[in-house]
Amino acid sequence: MEQLTQSERRLLANLRAYAQFRQGFFTQVAIGELGVNGPQRFGSSTQLQSFSGFGGIGGYLGLIQQAQQIANSEATLRLQRRTEKRLQALYDNDLTDIVNLDQFKQRVKSTTASLLQQQNGYELALDNYKTQIMGLPPELPITVDESLLKGFQLVPVEANEIIDSLNQLQERIGWLSQVVELQAQLSSLEASAAELPGFSSEQLKDFIDRQARLIALLSDGLTPPDASGPIDSLDEQQVFEQIDQLTQWENNLRQITQRLRPPGDTSTSGEVNQGESGEAEKEIESNGRSLGSEDLEALRAAFNFCDHLAEVAFSSVDARQRLTEIIARAQAQIAPVESMQQLAETELHRLEELSVERERGMDREQVLEFREVLSSVRKRLDDLNTGENSIASGLTDLEEIQKQAASQSVEISLSDLSGWVQNFSQVTERLSFIPARVRLELITVPEVELTNARAFEIALENRLDFMNGRAALVDRWRAIEIAANELESNLSITGNLDLGTAKNNMLDFRGGTGNLQLGVEFDAPLARLLERNGYRETLIDFQRARRQFIQSRDSLQKGLRALLRNLQLRREQLEIQRGAVAIALRRSEQQQLQLMAPPARIGVGQGSTINSNQAFNLGISQESLLRSNNDLLAAWLNHYAARLRLYRELGIMELDAEGRWIENPLKLESDRDSQSDDTDPSQGFSNMQGTDQERSATGARTREATFEVQQEYSPKIRSAARPEVLEIQVR
- pLDDT tens, position by position, 570-589: 999 999 999 999 999 999 88
The string of DSSP codes covering 133-154 is: IS---TTS------GGGGGG--
pLDDT at residue 613, as a whole number: 78
- Between 69-78, 248-257, 669-678, the lowest mean confidence (pLDDT) is in 669-678
Contact yes or no for 689/682 (Cβ under 8 A): yes
pLDDT at residue 595, as a whole number: 81
E strand or H helix at 302: helix 293-303
**pLDDT tier, 227 (very low <50, low <70, confident <90, very high otherwise):** very low
Q: How many CB atoms within 10 Å of residue 166?
A: 23
Question: In a 3-state reduction of DSSP, which class is residue 626?
Answer: helix
Over residues 482-497, mean pLDDT = 85
Within 52-97, residue ranges assigned H as helices are 59-92
pLDDT digits (tens, 9 = 90+) for 618-635: 889 999 999 999 999 999
Helix, strand, coil share (%) of the chain residues, nearest 5: 65, 5, 30
Q: How many CB atoms within 10 Å of residue 95?
A: 16
- Between 123-127, 212-216, 243-247, 294-298, the lowest mean confidence (pLDDT) is in 294-298
Question: In a 3-state reduction of DSSP, which class is residue 451?
Answer: coil
In 534-635, beta strands by DSSP E: 600-601, 608-609
Over residues 613-621, mean pLDDT = 85
59: left (phi over 0), alpha (psi -120 to 50) or beta: left
Q: Which amino acid belongs to residue 664? A: N
- Max mean pLDDT among 87-96, 114-123, 210-219, 231-240 falls in 114-123
Give 322's contacts (C-beta < 8 A, 6+ positions apart): 176, 179, 219, 220
**pLDDT tier, 114 (very low <50, low <70, confident <90, very high otherwise):** very high
In 234-369, beta strands by DSSP E: none
pLDDT at residue 219, as a whole number: 46
Over residues 687-694, mean pLDDT = 35
Give 620's contacts (C-beta < 8 A, 6+ positions apart): none
The string of DSSP codes covering 168-231 is: HHHHHHHHHHHHHHHHHHHHHHHHHHTTSTT--HHHHHHHHHHHHHHHHHHHS-B--TT-SS-B
Over residues 451-479, mean pLDDT = 91
Over residues 230-252, mean pLDDT = 50
Cα dihedral sign, 256-261-266-267 = negative
pLDDT at residue 255, as a whole number: 57
pLDDT at residue 282, as a whole number: 43
Question: Between 725 and 274, where is the model more confident?
Answer: 274
Phi first, then psi, for residue 725 (nearest 5°) are -105, 120
- Between 91-100, 208-217, 293-302, 520-529, the lowest mean confidence (pLDDT) is in 293-302
- Average pLDDT score, the chain: 75
Give the span between the Cα atoms of 257 and 246, in whole angstroms.
16
Tell me the pTM: 0.72
Please tell me what DSSP assigns to residue 486: T
pLDDT at residue 213, as a whole number: 58
In 28-161, beta strands by DSSP E: none
pLDDT digits (tens, 9 = 90+) for 315-364: 345 778 888 888 999 999 899 999 999 999 999 999 999 888 888 878 88
**pLDDT tier, 127 (very low <50, low <70, confident <90, very high otherwise):** very high
